[in-house]
A and B are shown apart, each in its own frame.
Chain A
Amino acid sequence: MAKINHVEELIFQKKENEKLVAELSIANKELAFQKEEKGKRAAELGIANIELAFQDDEKGKRAAELGIANKELVFQDDEKGKRAAELSIANKELIFQNEEKEKRAVELGIANKELIFQNEEKGKRAAELTIANKELAFQNDEKEKRAAELGIANKELAFQNDEKEKRAAELTIANTELAFQNDEKEKRAAELGIANKELAFQNNEKEKRAAELDIANKELAFQNDEKEKRAAELGIANKELAFQNDEKEKRAAELIIANKELAFQNNEKEKRAEELIIANKELLAFTYISGHDLQEPLRKIQTFVTIILENENKNLSDDGKYNFQRMQLAAGRMQQLIDDLLAFSRISTTELKFEKTELNTIIEEVKTELKETIQEKHATIEATELGSVNIIAFQFRQLMYNLISNALKFSSPGIPSHIIIKSRIVKGSELNNEKLSPEKNYCHITVKDNGIGFEPHFSERIFEVFQKLHGKEVYAGTGIGLAIVKKIVENHNGIIIATSESKKGATFDIYIPAD
């Protein structure tokens, strides 16, 4: 009976073993399945990693592109409009990519949670397997044969567990890495967010700039408008100026013609003036020559009259004698007239040669010439303080002769003639005469007498040609003497002033330049 029991027990054990093998087979199948699942997950994780790496690459590229785009944006301020549009597109793309990334991140998050859950499950299984192994080890202890097989199976399972743990560790590492990558992605996303914000800010700025530019453009457009208006105005002004220039040119042309005409007229006038000067000289020369030639027949008339009066004295009636005497007087006056006219024309025709001359010498010469008259009039001539002056000597001699002989001629009857001649150098400014230059020095010559003088209102007239204050029966003369005096003074660029009162003598003041 015991044997039967023993067989029964063996059968039971065999049945139990078979059950255990079946269970182990199931467990193994399950483990194989799990293993397969893990492989699949690992493959999925690999793919996910590759995708993430690719996305990272893409992000790097994008970042690089954004960097370039930014640089380009900074550089290309002029083409801000276009860039802004491009950036807007890039932004949209980035936003889209970010969204994609976030979706991926969410997906990865879900995958991670599943893996964690699977790991936990695996952990539980491992624990269950450990228990089962312990049980089997216990059963193996009890059943050595089985134990060896089971030992091998266990070892394999342990190895598999090890592998699983390795895988789990790898997965943990992969998860950590994924978490790290997610972190990085988030950081990138955050950075991208910041970059986006910055871009948005830049866009804003750009828009502001664009708005400013728009305003500036409007202003420029306004200014352009204004400029065009101005240009139009200027155009009109230019046309007007051009017209005025035209007019001016016409005027200038007219003026040139007028100038030419004036120049021609001036030329003509100069010619006329020259002709007149020549004619004047010719006239004076004519006066001179005719005067000269008139002298001879006149003299002969006088000579014949005297011969008749001398030789035919007895044969002539008193009336005849008287008429001859009148004839003689008339001829005498004519001779004087011719002499004076000759002197007058000589003053104008001869060349003016200035030389430093002692006035005293001239006075002495004149005194010698008038010696007889001076004696006759019992005249004294006081010529003191006389210097030397730059003068036309022969003309000045004539001047002095005329003045002194006039003084003698118009002496007061019964009173000895007294003539005072003085000279001094004086500054023009002291003389207070508008005809004299205040800066120049003048030689002031005075000829003063105690003769009959003349009324003050004749002081100018006496210098005119043929002007006489007395009848020829009273004072012989032609009225040319003082005209000659004046002309000589003028030849010396000077002036002469006569002052007198009737019966109180006359004073002649001559001013000629002394420099």
Chain B
Amino acid sequence: MSVKQLNILLADDDTDDCIFFKKALTELVIPTNLIAVHDGEQLMHLLINETTLLPHILFLDLNMPRKNGFECLSEIKLSEKLKQLPVIVFSTSFEQDVVNRLYKNGAQYFIRKPPEFSQFKKIIQQALMLIVQGNISQPTREDFVLTLQNS
């Protein structure tokens, strides 16, 4: 992917998490441009009406008002226009069932939000690097959940 800047779309209703995410991105070496929406309807509205430029990556929270992450994921993957968009699910909880369902519905990766900020930064960087390196087709189930790599 040869772009000057990664366009990142974040869908999360939690203000703190948005702040953490923004802060993390600013501290990363990869140049990014962040747009944040705070519920599922806003997200879908934005994506459907975007005529020129789709984001490179979508970070999607699951528990959102009006339309949750699952619904948004399904709609995106059923849309010809949007189905190529890599969706990284970003959630506080980790449920095997939920993860399986997300994998089945076509999400790119699953990230459990880590408690330490440094881990938070690292895992976002890891995910961005994978996308930048062109890993945009769905990985195997084993590699679906991103965990911190010791480096």
Residues of A in contact with B (beta carbons under 8 Å apart): 292, 295-296, 298-300, 302-303, 306-307, 310, 331-332, 335, 342, 346, 350, 368, 394
- Closest Cβ–Cβ distance, residue B15 to chain A (whole Å): 10
Instruction: Give A346 to B93 CA distance when docked, in angstroms.
Output: 13
Q: Write out the residue numbers on chain A whose beta carbons fall within 8 Å of the beta carbon of B116.
A: 302-303, 306
- Closest Cβ–Cβ distance, residue B119 to chain A (whole Å): 8
Given contact pairs A295-B93, A296-B92, A299-B92, a sample of 14 additional A-B residue pairs in the complex whose CB atoms are under 8 Å apart: A299-B113, A299-B115, A302-B116, A303-B16, A303-B20, A303-B120, A306-B115, A306-B116, A310-B117, A310-B118, A332-B115, A342-B93, A346-B95, A350-B97
Residues of B in contact with A (beta carbons under 8 Å apart): 14, 16-17, 20, 23, 92-93, 95-97, 113-118, 120, 142
B16 close to A306 (CB less than 8 A): no
A300 close to B16 (CB less than 8 A): yes
- Closest Cβ–Cβ distance, residue A95 to chain B (whole Å): 128
Chain B residue at minimum C-beta to C-beta distance from A291: B93
Taking each of B96, B114, B115, which has the highest tally of chain A beta carbons within 10 Å of its own beta carbon? B115
B117 close to A306 (CB less than 8 A): yes
Taking each of A306, A331, A346, which has the highest tally of chain B beta carbons within 10 Å of its own beta carbon? A306
- Residues of B contacting A: mostly: helix
Q: Write out the residue numbers on chain B whose beta carbons fall within 8 Å of the beta carbon of A299.
A: 92, 113-115
Q: Write out the residue numbers on chain A whose beta carbons fall within 8 Å of the beta carbon of B93.
A: 292, 295, 342
B117 close to A303 (CB less than 8 A): yes
Q: Write out the residue numbers on chain B whose beta carbons fall within 8 Å of the beta carbon of A331.
A: 115
B115 close to A303 (CB less than 8 A): yes
- Closest Cβ–Cβ distance, residue B146 to chain A (whole Å): 15
Q: Write out the residue numbers on chain B whose beta carbons fall within 8 Å of the beta carbon of A302.
A: 115-116
6 residue pairs, one from A and one from B, having the closest CB atoms? A302-B115, A306-B117, A306-B116, A296-B92, A307-B117, A299-B115
- Closest Cβ–Cβ distance, residue A488 to chain B (whole Å): 14
- Closest Cβ–Cβ distance, residue B72 to chain A (whole Å): 19
Chain A residue at minimum C-beta to C-beta distance from B97: A350
Instruction: Give A331 to B142 CA distance when docked, in angstroms.
Output: 29
- Closest Cβ–Cβ distance, residue A329 to chain B (whole Å): 12
Taking each of A298, A310, A335, which has the highest tally of chain B beta carbons within 10 Å of its own beta carbon? A310
Q: What are 22 A-B contacts defined by CB distance under 8 Å? A: A292-B93, A295-B93, A296-B14, A299-B92, A299-B114, A300-B16, A302-B115, A302-B116, A303-B16, A303-B115, A303-B120, A306-B115, A306-B116, A306-B118, A307-B20, A307-B23, A307-B117, A310-B117, A310-B118, A331-B115, A368-B142, A394-B96
Chain B residue at minimum C-beta to C-beta distance from A346: B95
